[in-house]
Amino acid sequence: MAWTWFHRLGSPPYIYSLAARLTPWFAWPAALLILGGLYGGLIYASPDYQQGEGYRILYVHAPSAWMSLMVYTTMAISAAVGLIWRIKVAHAVAASCAAMGASFTFAALATGSLWGAPMWGTYWEWDPRLTFELILLFQFLGYMGLRAAIDDVQRADRVSAVLAIVGVVNVPIIHYSVEWWNSLHQTASVMKLSKPTMPFDMLIPLLMMFLGFTLLFVALLLTRLRAEVLSRERSAAWIREVVSA
Amino acid sequence: MNETTPALEAARLVLARDLRLAFRRPGELLQPLVFFAIVTTLFPLAITPQLSQLRVVAPGVVWVAALLSSLLALEFLFRDDAHDGTLEQYALSGQSLTWLLFAKTASHWLLTGLPLAVMAPLAGLSLGVPAASVPGIVVSIALGSVALSLVGAIGASLTLGVRRSSVLLSILTLPLVIPVLIFGSSATQRAIEGEDFAAPLYLLAAIAVLGITLAPLAAAAAVRISLE
């Protein structure tokens, strides 16, 4: 009996209405946190003693880079769940993740490149983290390409799930090999477990942006999941009831 | 193959069959090597004939050319067997599909990776690397191409029966083999500069071991899905 909530998650009509109900609970906090974080980061926080005002792009760059990895992991985990337990909704989650992950990765690359222009004097530097993001973008694009090349949805789900799992095993290897290959980027200053080297007025808006981006992702994922479920179940009877209601 | 055939024996039979089939068409066997030779020839023509400058880019040239040649041969790794139903028979044979695909991957390495490793020093010498670096180049390409074949087998099995599969195979496989390229060309570079190249070689070996243990499992899963 205790597992009924879990089994209900596998039912498309239930997940459709659940996603619709949950979306505002993530969307509104996300909007507030991002607005607050942007105000705090762009206006309130003091300029950096070395980089001046230029560092403020960090408030979009770092959360985007964080999200790119998180979306990839979410995609791979839900693909694995779908592959192992044959849950269709899990595959729909993975399918909804791909385009968003590619967008976050692209945002991280674009902001990183714009940040590089004043700081490094060049738009592109073969810096390990930018290179890593670029490879991650290729992985997202490959996943989307594989999915698009297979017409049968169920086969596309399962084949791309294998790719997502292989990719997620490879992500740490790529990360460390790229790190080892070239090290030019400034070292991480937020994720240190000891005292963060960032002053408080810079750190709080950044954490707000991290949380806001995460909630934004969940809200967007729920919305895209509804669209994905609608398109996959378009011949089912319950869709007619939903649409006519 | 009856049910009592042990997995290793079945894998050996598949390997022997693939090698025999390949040697019946020696022309196709040479194609990746010819491709490798042509690609390495393009670089002096595109960059400069000066050996002093070519020596600097030689590790990258040799490795990218080897990577592309290995990729070229990957397309045919499972394709013919998928078309004529052999893969289906493998899956139904009661034998471990993982072992059989591992044997097929081993044949890919024996037919492309190993010859490429033997040929790479020739390309290297034509790019002006010192003769003393030849063992380093051979070992690093031989070891790295093991990982290339294994990761490539995953890509080949994922793109079975997919439209425009050759482009997709490259797009899927190349990002996954970037670590191999990094450590492989680093080992080659150190060999050319006369330094100790053991460290990147150990990392290449680690990737190859990881590939040997995991890649055939993923490839077998993908082949089973594509046969459904």
State the pLDDT at residue A156: 92
**Average pLDDT rounded to a whole number, residues B154-177:** 90
SS3 label, residue B49: coil
Q: What residues are paired with A48 via a beta bridge? A: A52
Report in angstroms the alpha-carbon separations of B3 from B94, B95, B100, B199, B217: 7, 7, 14, 44, 21
Alpha carbon distance A32, A38 (integer Å): 10
pLDDT surpasses 80 at A69: yes
B157 pLDDT tier (thresholds 50, 70, 90): very high
Q: What pLDDT, on a 0 to 100 scale, did the predictor assign at position A191?
A: 45
Average pLDDT over residues A46-60: 80
* Residue A244 scores a pLDDT above 90: no
Give the mean model confidence (pLDDT) for residues A97-122: 90
Q: Looking at the partner chain, which of B158, B174, B203 has a beta carbon nearest the beta carbon of A162?
A: B158
Cross-chain residue pair A158–B179, CB shorter than 8 Å: no
What total of structural domains would you count in chain B? 1
If one counts the domains in chain A, the total is: 1
Q: Residue B186: its chain A contacts at CB < 8 A?
A: 181
**In chain B, % of residues over pLDDT 90:** 62
Q: Are B174 and A138 inside 8 Å of each other by CB?
A: yes
Q: How confident is the model at residue A71 (pLDDT cuts 50, 70, 90)?
A: very high
B178 and A178 within 8 Å at the Cβ level: the answer is yes
Q: Is residue A82 part of a domain?
A: yes
Domain interval for residue B170: 7-227
Q: Which residue in A has a C-alpha nearest to residue B204's C-alpha?
A: A177
A178 with B165: Cβ contact below 8 A? no
Residues of chain B with C-beta less than 8 angstroms from the C-beta of A141: 171
Nearest by CB to residue A177, choosing from B172, B182, B210, is B182
| Structural domain contains residue A17 | no
A211 in any annotated domain: yes
Domain residues for the domain of A210 are 59-187+196-244
Q: What percent of chain B has pLDDT over 70?
A: 98
* Burial group, residue A43, by CB count within 10 angstroms (0-12, 13-18, 19+): exposed
In a domain, residue A200? The reply is yes
- Can you tell me the distance from the alpha carbon of A51 to that of A43, in angstroms, rounded to the nearest whole number? 15
* Residue A80 placed within a domain: yes
Q: Residue A10 has what DSSP assignment? A: T
Whether residue A24 lies inside any domain: the answer is no
A31 inside domain: no
Among A44-58, A153-167, B147-161, whose mean pLDDT is lowest? A44-58
Tell me the chain A residues in contact with residue B203 when contact means C-beta distances shorter than 8 Å: 177
Spatial separation of the C-alpha atoms in residues B2 and B6, rounded to whole Å? 9
Nearest CA in chain A to B158: A159
Question: With 70 as the cut, is the pLDDT of residue B1 above it?
Answer: no
Lowest mean pLDDT among A201-205, B56-60, B223-227: A201-205
- Report CB contact under 8 Å: B179, A167: no
Is the per-residue pLDDT at B3 higher than 70? no
pLDDT at A182: 64
**Domain assignment present for A138:** yes
| Chain A to chain B Cβ contacts (< 8 Å) | 69
Chain B residues touching A167 at Cβ < 8 A: 175-176
Q: Fill in the amino acid letter for A28.
A: W
Secondary structure (DSSP) of B195-208: ---HHHHHHHHHHH
- Cβ of A149 within 8 Å of Cβ of B163? The answer is yes
- The neighbour count for residue B22, using CB atoms within 10 Å, is 18
Answer whether residue B2 is part of any domain: no
Q: Of A163, A202, A157, A171, which Cα lies nearest the Cα of A69?
A: A171
Using a CB-CB distance cutoff of 8 angstroms, which residues of chain A are in contact with residue B162? Answer: 146, 149-150
Cβ atoms B136, B59 nearer than 8 A? no
> Please, which pLDDT band fits residue A200 given cuts at 50, 70 and 90?
confident
For testing contact with chain B, the best of A153, A162, A169 (most B CBs within 10 A): A162
**Band of residue B120 on the pLDDT scale cut at 50, 70, 90:** very high
Nearest-Cα distance to chain A for B214, in Å, is 9
Tell me the pLDDT band of A193, cut-offs 50, 70 and 90: very low
pLDDT average, residue stretch A153-181: 89
- The 10s digit of each residue's pLDDT in B98-117 is 999 999 999 999 999 999 99
The one-letter amino acid code at B72 reads L
Averaged pLDDT score across all residues of chain A = 86
Residue in A closest to B170 by C-alpha: A142
Chain A residues touching residue B169 (CB < 8 angstroms): none
Each residue of B30-46: pLDDT tens digit?
999 999 999 999 999 99
